[in-house]
């Protein structure tokens, strides 16, 4: 009996890294991970296997250790973008530190799986630290930029009207591109003012929508969507052929909008950042924002807090007890006079009204082209 167990263990240890990477892919599929997540792990491990195959001995699982992965990290730091990609041409720009960090995350997850499944006697990358990546401040779209993008969409055709509704919905809800592309028609609740969304990890959540977007969605559903054809299709947003739109459709829409508006940094996920930051600036709390965005932890929400901290500090001056006690040119009960209180000199982001204020003011100008 003991001999049979030992033989099984030795057989597991005899598998190559490529073979184990293939088994890991099957395991992720069996665990019900999303196709996007499975593809992400598979692609990263494919590149790692290509790296170790240069030296055939490195394919041996016994050589999978911290030193091998550290050498791989150094290799990645000097690797041009899209090198070896089957479709996209290689670029002179190197992989970003964030991309390198993502590769190491995937390899650490692979290492943990190897240990749990009994392919290694210990978690060999347990003590490997993630390489540092700079944390960049998220710059949301300004009210002026939002206005510039909105006016570039001429609602002269059903597809352009659809694109307009997609834009304002993303700005008002913070949905991911994949989420808005897959919303079923029946999941929009106009009476309750919310959308049921199936997010990452097959987790359903409720996302509230404002009255302005409710009005636009209702106009789209009643007057625009039927013109796109295929009444049997269950998807909310349809292509010009009456088929459900895809994430690539969303990317193409925003790529064209970025060119036409002159805002090169515009993309669908920037609308998500813009929503989150304005939600906090307008008084929302991080816990409800976490639920709306569908994050499992507060880690990502804290990135938005870093941006809003300076904005909130400036806004707080408007409500400073001492500034309100001493109004300009007037004496307080203490007999002191402040001729130029700080509060009167502060101009905050909120003075512009934010995207929601712009959309509210422009709602009277929106006409449904039938």
Q: Diameter of the chain by CA atoms? A: 94
pLDDT for 305 equals 80
Query: Which two tokens mark 356?
Result: 């929601």
pLDDT for 338 equals 40
Q: Which DSSP letter does residue 319 get?
A: G
pLDDT in tens, 11-25: 555 789 999 999 999
Integer Cα distance of 344 and 245 in angstroms:
49
pLDDT for 315 equals 59
One DSSP character per residue, 185-215 reads GGGEETTTTEEEEE-GGG-EEEEE--HHHHH
Sorted by where each starts, the structural domains of the chain and their CATH numbers stand as 2-116 (1.10.150), 143-312+353-365 (1.10.443.10)
pTM: 0.72
Regions of the chain short of the pLDDT cut 50? 4-8, 329-334, 336-352, 354-356, 358-370
pLDDT for 340 equals 40
Q: Whose CA is closest to 295, among 307, 281, 305, 282?
A: 305
The position carrying tokens 């290694």 is: 120
Report the number of secondary-structure helices (H) and strands (E) in the chain.
15, 3
Query: Which two tokens mark 159?
Result: 């597809």
Contact 197, 161 (CB under 8 A): no
pLDDT for 299 equals 83
Q: Which residues contact 76 (CB under 8 A, 6 or more apart)?
A: 95, 99, 100, 103
Contact 209, 183 (CB under 8 A): no
pLDDT for 337 equals 44
pLDDT in tens, 166-181: 999 999 999 999 999 9
Q: Which DSSP letter does residue 223 get?
A: I
pLDDT in tens, 258-306: 999 999 999 999 999 999 999 988 888 899 999 999 998 888 888 888 7
pLDDT for 326 equals 60
């Amino acid at each position: 009996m003991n001999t049979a167990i030992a033989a099984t263990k030795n057989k597991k240890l005899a598998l190559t890294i490529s073979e184990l990477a293939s088994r890991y892919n099957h395991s992720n599929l069996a665990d019900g991970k999303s196709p996007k997540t499975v593809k992400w792990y598979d692609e990263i491990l494919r590149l790692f296997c290509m790296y170790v195959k240069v030296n055939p001995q490195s394919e041996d699982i016994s050589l999978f250790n911290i030193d091998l992965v550290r050498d791989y990290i150094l290799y990645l730091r000097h690797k041009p973008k899209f090198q070896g990609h089957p479709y996209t041409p290689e670029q002179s720009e190197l992989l970003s530190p964030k991309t390198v960090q993502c590769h190491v995350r995937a390899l650490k997850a692979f290492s943990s799986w190897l240990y749990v499944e009994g392919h290694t006697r210990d978690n060999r990358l347990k003590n490997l630290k993630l390489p540092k990546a700079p944390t960049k401040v998220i710059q949301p779209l300004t009210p002026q930029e939002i206005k510039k993008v909105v006016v570039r969409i001429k609602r002269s055709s059903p597809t352009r009207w659809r694109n307009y509704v997609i834009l304002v919905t993303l700005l008002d809800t913070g949905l991911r591109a994949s989420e808005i592309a897959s919303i079923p028609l029946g999941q929009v609740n106009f009476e309750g003012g919310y959308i049921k969304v199936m997010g990452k990890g097959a987790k359903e959540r409720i996302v509230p929508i404002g009255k302005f977007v409710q009005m636009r969605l209702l106009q789209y559903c009643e007057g625009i969507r039927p013109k796109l054809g295929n009444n049997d299709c269950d998807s909310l947003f349809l292509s010009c052929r009456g088929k459900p739109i895809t994430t690539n459709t969303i990317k193409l829409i925003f790529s064209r909008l970025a060119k036409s508006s002159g805002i090169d940094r515009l993309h669908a996920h920037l609308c998500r950042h813009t929503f989150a930051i304005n939600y906090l600036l307008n008084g929302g709390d991080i816990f409800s924002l976490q639920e709306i965005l569908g994050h499992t932890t507060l880690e990502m929400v804290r990135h938005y807090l870093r941006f809003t901290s300076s904005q909130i500090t400036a806004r707080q001056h408007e409500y400073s007890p001492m500034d309100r006690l001493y109004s300009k040119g007037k004496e307080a009960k203490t007999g002191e006079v402040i001729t130029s209180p700080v509060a009167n000199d502060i101009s905050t982001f909120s003075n512009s009204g934010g995207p929601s204020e712009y959309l509210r003011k422009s709602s009277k100008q929106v006409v449904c082209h039938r």
